[in-house]
Amino acid sequence: MLKTLVSAAAVVAMSAGVANAAVLYSTSFEAPTFNATLNGVDGWVTQGGGSVGSTAGLAHTGTRYATSSTLNTSGQWQWQGAIAQDAASIAAAPIIKASVWMQHGATGTPTALRRGGLQMYSFDAATVFAALYIQSDGSVTVTDGLAQSFSLAAGSVNANAYNKIEIELNYITQMATFKINDVALILPPGGGAFVGADFGDADFFSTRGAGTAGGATVRYDDYVVEQNIPAPGAFALLGLGGLIAGRRRRA
């Protein structure tokens, strides 16, 4: 369904790849490192109730996954290990990419939309450079570093299946690229812009509507953050076409 909303003719890929890539951090939340507790393990900090689930058949790969079984109105997971990169590191390797597989569980009957996704921050965590969310109705929201938001309509993705969400920050062009299941979302001109010279972390972020009951689950698995050096001549040409057949608003 998502592919039908993206004009292939409007996508210009980085054909030359990268000259060098380094994984800053990756995990599938497997034992023995993770055995139920997420908070305080391997540098993870949770807000709003986060844990490591091991219910058979619910992981994307392996047997374990990060989860919040009772969402509140401001739940978040943060990884605060050796992932931050200062301006000098970014100048030497100016591409940061984060990805995670995410699924909305069908448990419970919340009366408002649930939201799950990925946020990428500045070094001091004061600025969100880019965010990509999938709501429980299958709609998609993108927010860039200029607080511009763009949406795909309900039903754009199957929210109850695992979807790969990915954000790439290009510090050369100061533009972010957003993908779902390896399909690039095409933003209007100027969409995806951010301002920054360093990198802090990439957080999961899951919430439910204010004043509604919890009892619904968002799961995350196979989380990877890497830093790349572009190969000569490899640049992403962004801002082509018009997305995201949906609304545009400023947050």
Whole-angstrom distance, CA of residue 188 vs CA of residue 150:
9
Whole-angstrom distance, CA of residue 45 vs CA of residue 38:
7
Whole-angstrom distance, CA of residue 100 vs CA of residue 235:
23
| Domain regions of the chain by residue span | 3-250
Backbone angles phi, psi at 37, to 5 degrees: -90, 130
Q: Which two tokens stand for residue 160?
A: 């109850």
Show pLDDT as tens, one digit a residue, over the chain (251 residues): 433 333 322 333 333 344 567 999 999 999 999 998 888 898 888 876 678 999 989 999 999 999 876 555 566 788 877 899 999 999 999 999 999 999 988 655 555 678 889 999 998 888 999 999 998 889 999 999 999 999 999 889 999 999 999 999 999 999 999 999 999 998 899 899 999 999 999 988 887 655 455 556 789 999 999 999 876 655 443 333 333 333 333 33
Q: Which two tokens stand for residue 151?
A: 């949406």
Specify the pLDDT at position 48.
66
Class of CATH domain 3-250: mainly beta
Please give the DSSP secondary-structure letter assigned to residue 4.
G
Q: Are 176 and 219 in contact (CB under 8 A)?
A: no
Backbone angles phi, psi at 231, to 5 degrees: -70, 155
3-state SS assignment for residue 107: coil
| C-alpha 97: how far from chain center | 10
Provide the 10 A C-beta neighbour count for residue 173: 17
Q: Tell me the whole-structure pTM to 2 decimals.
A: 0.82
Rg (CA), the chain: 17
Q: Which two tokens stand for residue 138?
A: 């299958």
Whole-angstrom distance, CA of residue 45 vs CA of residue 204:
11
Q: Which residue's entry shows tokens 């039903």?
A: 155
Q: Are 194 and 176 in contact (CB under 8 A)?
A: yes
